[in-house]
Amino acid sequence: SDDDIDGPVEPPRSPEVITLDEDTVSPENAIENPSVENPPVENPPVENPPVETSTVIDYNHGIDSTNEDLSL
């Protein structure tokens, strides 16, 4: 009888503790935080597209390696 009561009493407590833990940890908030931080982080990379790098390399390579590249 005691065991039976202890059993069911503990399970309900577990979910409550987990719920509190989840609320404290804020899993949804944590997921939303990175998401919000992701856009700003992705923005800089978007502004620094490989096109700019390619253009810079193209100019450097074109002026310096164009002849070598063509020769090769």
CB 69 within 8 A of CB 61: yes
Q: In 3D, which of 3, 21, 23 has the Cα closest to residue 13?
A: 21
What is the DSSP code (8-state) at residue 47?
H
One-letter amino acid for residue 50 of the chain? P
- The first and second tokens of residue 3, run together, are 């065991």
Whole-number pLDDT of residue 65: 54
pLDDT confidence bin for 64, thresholds 50/70/90: low
Calculate mean pLDDT across residues 28-56: 54
Alpha-carbon distance 31 to 24, whole Å? 14
Say how many C-beta atoms besides its own lie within 10 A of residue 69's C-beta: 10
